[in-house]
Chain A
């Protein structure tokens, strides 16, 4: 990292706006904060007196919990607004919701929304820092950062690794953020899945689309599978989960095409036996639970960094 480097991002909306230096800095910060979670008293005063709102328009247990724990470990005051209690169901517009929350002077708003781009819109109406916790089929930057952290932790570096991402690339915000993040850090991303799951223009975004599962997984350092859905809004994507498992599911045999020390990853929750076979998910190569642990550290880093980059 260049000397004189300064992290300056008021909001974390996507990976695209972060530089490789920014990502390194976030991961370094996360690594230094990680040990807090191993202490017997898991609390530092960093965010004392700061108000952090979890604004979730889409159900989520894992991500919301992870952000909440991250904030609490840094002594932030957290408040959860979920879709069921939020005004969205009462027909209030996003702008009105945003203005109402802003009136309560939060420092950070963590937002999940089913529409791509909603967090961008939020930034126009609030003074608080905004962290995107997943927007539609667009991005999920904190997930990609925790994936990068997990891989870096195990492999020591990210450059020149072969990363295979298998499954529904088109509708996965995790895949989008990871393609952006891994390629930015110098890794090679190979994707595979049924063509109904491969969006237009992936190669222009830096990923290599493979014509076979074997081509994608062969000698990979990382094999990441994605949660799949059979259909979306009148869009018939797959004949059956059974056939998907048969054709694309990661079995131990298929996992063995990768390097012997390859990491098996999944953003969760897993459809066991569909995209990932249970023995592979639970194998010694699986770092799925490390991803969850690192999620807290990465989110602590993000909360800390967005507030410290205040002008």
Chain B
């Protein structure tokens, strides 16, 4: 499917970085965005984008690709294929692999494996060696190798001094610290604490477990003047904390996920292990607060926390099931529902799913500027499909959205001028 030149015709081009939202054609030549008009190259392939949106390639700033070490769940090739199928041209992969991405060698290996992938892979390095929360990893050297941020995701950084030092040290290298915010002593449960956990007899995790840590990160960022990015926000209280910190000028950014703005803890009913993740699905008030945070600018990004697990880890008793769900293939349609519901507009959708993640991570991506690398997603907002198990591209099928009828999807995903996914 390699095509030297592409002419994407009659689409609605939405490019917030250049304040563009207009009907038009987009020309791709030699892997970059070129000026339309003039004589077309002979080998040009035309793509009819009538009724579609043409946007900068989507970027998911929080995924788990599982390679190296847990390739039975996902690997870099299968994960990037799932990304492309979901409209993503780039993904930032968390370092909780086996071994942990805490040094240059692992970073380089990931980048090497990603060369053949269907999406750009932006590795996130560990904050601490082996992500064990005791001493700083060699962040500078990992930066040179190609990491785009640091995080001990999967685990909270318990030690506040280590978190402070991480924010200070990473900032010297232009890297943001991504916080998995969770107070461990409060989060020994398996789902959100509320009426559903009481009814199901499952141990609950209170919203305070997240908010306490979100506030610690804000306090440290405010005190040091450094940056912090809060991952996968799930609660109303965290949203409020981030909103007010931003109003004070704290350098905090935040992401939430499609599952937090779509589902509540009711999805756990029947002991559905595909509704088990950390942080857990929360109550309806939290879901509404997250949606408000998306509409008022509190959240900068929608990320998936794509966390593949095999059935060995999910077809077990609820208490024993691993945390996490896949999300790359459902993120866009679920986010498009926000546009249809009037929570956000099209421009904001593109900011949340492309421009802002690129900006936070310092990537040369997220725009359709002339001369930019041609990472493009063509979205048909009216294309309906059923997300059935046989359609799943990811190696793992742990999604609570299996069997859902979804509306809107990427019909073309283009990375550097190469079509990585298309649906006719």
Q: Of the candidates B188, B198, B318, B319, which one forms a contact with A205 in the assembled complex, judged by CB atoms under 8 Å apart?
A: B198
Which A positions have Cβ atoms within 8 angstroms of B?
16, 93-95, 113, 115-118, 120-121, 135-139, 170, 173, 176, 199-202, 204-205, 233-235
Measured in the bound complex, the distance between the Cα atoms of B200 and A28 in whole Å is: 28
Which B positions have Cβ atoms within 8 angstroms of A?
185, 188, 193-204, 270-271, 315-320
Distance (whole angstroms) from the CB of A118 to the closest CB of chain B: 5
Q: A170 — nearest CB in chain B belongs to which residue?
A: B198
Of the A-B pairs whose beta carbons lie under 8 Å apart in the complex, a sample of 13, sorted by A's number, is: A16-B199, A94-B316, A115-B320, A116-B202, A138-B201, A170-B198, A176-B198, A176-B201, A199-B204, A200-B204, A201-B196, A205-B195, A205-B198
Interface centre among B194, B200, B202, B204 (most CB of A within 10 A): B200
Contact B318–A116 (Cβ < 8 Å): yes
Q: Of the candidates A94, A113, A117, A202, which one forms a contact with B200 in the assembled complex, judged by CB atoms under 8 Å apart?
A: A117
Contact A139–B201 (Cβ < 8 Å): yes
Contact B201–A173 (Cβ < 8 Å): yes
Write out the residue numbers on chain A whose beta carbons fall within 8 Å of the beta carbon of B194.
200-201
Contact B198–A117 (Cβ < 8 Å): no
Distance (whole angstroms) from the CB of B44 to the closest CB of chain A: 54
Write out the residue numbers on chain A whose beta carbons fall within 8 Å of the beta carbon of B193.
200
Measured in the bound complex, the distance between the Cα atoms of B201 and A113 in whole Å is: 12
Measured in the bound complex, the distance between the Cα atoms of B190 and A137 in whole Å is: 13
Measured in the bound complex, the distance between the Cα atoms of B315 and A115 in whole Å is: 14
Contact A113–B198 (Cβ < 8 Å): no
Q: Which 8 pairs, one residue from A and one from B, show the smallest C-beta to C-beta distance?
A: A201-B195, A138-B201, A117-B271, A116-B201, A137-B201, A199-B198, A115-B317, A115-B319
Q: B195 — nearest CB in chain A belongs to which residue?
A: A201
> Given the known A-B contacts A201-B198, A205-B198, are A116 and B319 also in contact in the complex, defined by CB atoms under 8 Å?
yes
Distance (whole angstroms) from the CB of A235 to the closest CB of chain B: 7
Contact A94–B198 (Cβ < 8 Å): no
Contact A120–B270 (Cβ < 8 Å): yes
- Contacts A137-B202, A235-B188 known; 15 new A-B pairs at CB < 8 A: A94-B317, A116-B201, A116-B318, A116-B319, A117-B200, A135-B201, A136-B201, A136-B202, A137-B201, A138-B200, A139-B201, A200-B194, A200-B197, A200-B198, A201-B196
Contact B270–A234 (Cβ < 8 Å): no
> Given the known A-B contacts A173-B201, A200-B198, A200-B204, are A233 and B188 also in contact in the complex, defined by CB atoms under 8 Å?
yes
Write out the residue numbers on chain B whose beta carbons fall within 8 Å of the beta carbon of A200.
193-195, 197-198, 204
Measured in the bound complex, the distance between the Cα atoms of B320 and A233 in whole Å is: 16
Distance (whole angstroms) from the CB of B264 to the closest CB of chain A: 13
Write out the residue numbers on chain A whose beta carbons fall within 8 Å of the beta carbon of B270.
120
Q: Of the candidates B185, B195, B203, which one forms a contact with A204 in the assembled complex, judged by CB atoms under 8 Å apart?
A: B195
Q: B318 — nearest CB in chain A belongs to which residue?
A: A117
Measured in the bound complex, the distance between the Cα atoms of B198 and A52 in whole Å is: 31
Measured in the bound complex, the distance between the Cα atoms of B200 and A115 in whole Å is: 11
Q: Of the candidates B188, B315, B317, which one forms a contact with A234 in the assembled complex, judged by CB atoms under 8 Å apart?
A: B188
Measured in the bound complex, the distance between the Cα atoms of B201 and A135 in whole Å is: 8
Write out the residue numbers on chain A whose beta carbons fall within 8 Å of the beta carbon of B271.
116-117, 120-121
Write out the residue numbers on chain A whose beta carbons fall within 8 Å of the beta carbon of B320.
115
Measured in the bound complex, the distance between the Cα atoms of B317 and A94 in whole Å is: 8
> Given the known A-B contacts A116-B271, A205-B195, A235-B188, are A121 and B317 also in contact in the complex, defined by CB atoms under 8 Å?
yes
Q: Of the candidates B185, B316, B318, B319, which one forms a contact with A93 in the assembled complex, judged by CB atoms under 8 Å apart?
A: B316
Measured in the bound complex, the distance between the Cα atoms of B195 and A202 in whole Å is: 7
Measured in the bound complex, the distance between the Cα atoms of B321 and A116 in whole Å is: 12
Q: B198 — nearest CB in chain A belongs to which residue?
A: A199
Distance (whole angstroms) from the CB of B229 to the closest CB of chain A: 30
Measured in the bound complex, the distance between the Cα atoms of B319 and A118 in whole Å is: 9
Q: B268 — nearest CB in chain A belongs to which residue?
A: A117
Measured in the bound complex, the distance between the Cα atoms of B317 and A121 in whole Å is: 7
Q: A139 — nearest CB in chain B belongs to which residue?
A: B201
Contact A117–B188 (Cβ < 8 Å): no
Contact A202–B198 (Cβ < 8 Å): yes
Measured in the bound complex, the distance between the Cα atoms of B201 and A137 in whole Å is: 5
Distance (whole angstroms) from the CB of B207 to the closest CB of chain A: 11
Write out the residue numbers on chain B whose beta carbons fall within 8 Å of the beta carbon of A202.
198
Write out the residue numbers on chain A whose beta carbons fall within 8 Å of the beta carbon of B316.
93-95
Write out the residue numbers on chain B whose beta carbons fall within 8 Å of the beta carbon of A201.
194-199
Distance (whole angstroms) from the CB of A83 to the closest CB of chain B: 14
Distance (whole angstroms) from the CB of A310 to the closest CB of chain B: 23
Contact A205–B202 (Cβ < 8 Å): no
> Given the known A-B contacts A117-B202, A120-B271, A138-B200, are A95 and B315 also in contact in the complex, defined by CB atoms under 8 Å?
yes
Contact B317–A118 (Cβ < 8 Å): yes
Interface centre among B316, B317, B320 (most CB of A within 10 A): B317
Measured in the bound complex, the distance between the Cα atoms of B196 and A116 in whole Å is: 13
Contact B318–A115 (Cβ < 8 Å): yes
> Given the known A-B contacts A173-B201, A200-B193, are A136 and B188 also in contact in the complex, defined by CB atoms under 8 Å?
no
Measured in the bound complex, the distance between the Cα atoms of B204 and A91 in whole Å is: 26
Contact B200–A116 (Cβ < 8 Å): yes
Q: B190 — nearest CB in chain A belongs to which residue?
A: A116
Measured in the bound complex, the distance between the Cα atoms of B257 and A130 in whole Å is: 38
